[in-house]
Structure 1
Amino acid sequence: MSTTPPVLAAELAVAWADIQRHHPELPDLAAPESLIGESSSACGNELSFERLLHEAVHGIAAARGIRDTSRAGRYHNRRFLAIADEMGLDHAEEPHPSSGFSLVVMRPDTRKRYRVTIDRLQRALKAHSVATTADTARSFRGPAARHGSSGGGVRVKAVCDCGRNVRVVPSVLAQAPIMCGACGQPFRIPEVVGVG
């Protein structure tokens, strides 16, 4: 039995492809599943089309070899901001002290350009939410759901053979491989070697 929500993953891939249609240099989304259940205070907590555009800004920055964040990816700098502007996102005049220009929102013309895609993704997100929050007498939701936690867990460093790394919740990585956009190999959590 797969733990990946296939309909939502497919809709995320379709939405990403629509963004690529308007921004051809945007790399492919290797693992749509990596966005599901992922949250970041720097990038926004809720999965939405706006959040997908935010992630696409990071994708274009990576494709251009631009370092668009600092402080372990939390602070979004003016290079991030310049690409966000190209993508049709607005921002505050002044950076947030800890996250910089991470809080971006779609401009009305951007929302209009992607209206059909936004509607499709919203329906898929709503269906996913209903499916994952439906409580019945026969459903077990685990300790995170019972105690009010988002269930996101602690992020650990996952590495790729080419030397790149990402922070990821192990359970997200266990759902499906997250592929490196630079070399195409999967990220993995390195073995911890004991001392002594």
Structure 2
Amino acid sequence: MSTTPFVLAAELAAAWADIQRHHPELPNLAAPESLIGESSSACGTELSFERLLHEAVHGIAAARGVRDTSRAGRYHNRRFLAIADEMGLDHSEQPHPSSGFSLVVMRPETKRRYRTTIERLQRALGAHTKATAADTAKSFRGPAARHGSSGGGVRVKAVCDCGRNVRVVPSVLAQAPITCGACGEPFRIPEVMAVG
């Protein structure tokens, strides 16, 4: 098995830690590997440092107890926008009709602040893309890929032993375990548990 996903997960964790140095209230990134394998997020952006900053805005909102989205997490409201502004992200003046202010971009000074981190992450993403391009048809790629969707895959419910659950793309869960912060056990897809 290639070490590329592990290298990318390590680079994602390092990039997140760099963001935390500038924004200490940002919670730890529990499972960097959960970002790998998804070609798009709810706001339609590919995995990048800019996307990581977007996710960090949600992390800070959660730490502050701020509800920054509605419509099942698709519509990013002005509270999201205010935190994005604090983190050096710009936005359009008018919200998108279905996703609100989700499309944020780094300001020039933000790019300068994180330049080294951005370069490292881009190299890891490039290596990961090159390694996964050689993927064979026998690799598990998730329901959306099997049915010809160009999206990141359909999220399903995964549960842990203490009863908590998360929504995850099965191919992401197949890459590495995602562990529950409460009980320390891995999340599993119920259908897989019943078969296994």
Cα gap change, 1:70 to 1:163, in 2 (>3 Å): farther
Task: Please tell me whether residue 34 in structure 1 is matched to residue 31 in structure 2.
Answer: no
**Corresponding residue of 2:94:** 94
Aligned-residue CA RMSD (Å)? 2.9
Q: Deviations over 1:128-181 (max 9, x none)?
A: 1111113xxxx6234867986447332123356788654321221232233456
CA distance in 1, matches of 2:170, 2:99: 24
Letter of the 2:174 counterpart = A
What does 1:60-99 correspond to in 2, within 5 Å?
A: 60-99=60-99
Q: Which moved more, 1:154-163 or 1:7-16?
A: 154-163
Q: Deviations over 1:37-74 (max 9, x none)?
A: 12445333311000000001111111111111111111
Q: Report the secondary structure of 2:34's partner residue.
A: helix
**Corresponding residue of 1:174:** 174
Match of 2:136 among 140, 148, 151: 140
CA contact (8 A) 2:40 2:152 kept: no
CA distance in 1, matches of 2:64, 2:160: 20
CA contact (8 A) 1:42 1:75 kept: no
Task: Report the identity percentage.
Answer: 86
What does 1:1-20 correspond to in 2, within 5 Å?
A: 1=1, 5-20=5-20
CA contact (8 A) 1:88 1:106 kept: yes
Q: Report the secondary structure of 1:5's partner residue.
A: helix
CA distance in 1, matches of 2:100, 2:161: 31
| Unmatched tracts of structure 1, length 5 or more | none
CA distance in 2, matches of 1:71, 1:150: 22
| Number of residues of Structure 1 aligned to a counterpart in Structure 2 | 187
Q: Deviations over 1:79-119 (max 9, x none)?
A: 11111011100011111111011000000000000000000
Task: Please tell me whether residue 114 in structure 1 is matched to residue 110 in structure 2.
Answer: no
**Corresponding residue of 2:50:** 50
Letter of the 2:103 counterpart = L
Q: Report the secondary structure of 1:157's partner residue.
A: strand
Cα gap change, 1:120 to 1:147, in 2 (>3 Å): same
CA distance in 2, matches of 1:126, 1:170: 23
Q: What TM-score do you get using the length of structure 1 for normalisation? A: 0.81
Cα gap change, 1:50 to 1:89, in 2 (>3 Å): same
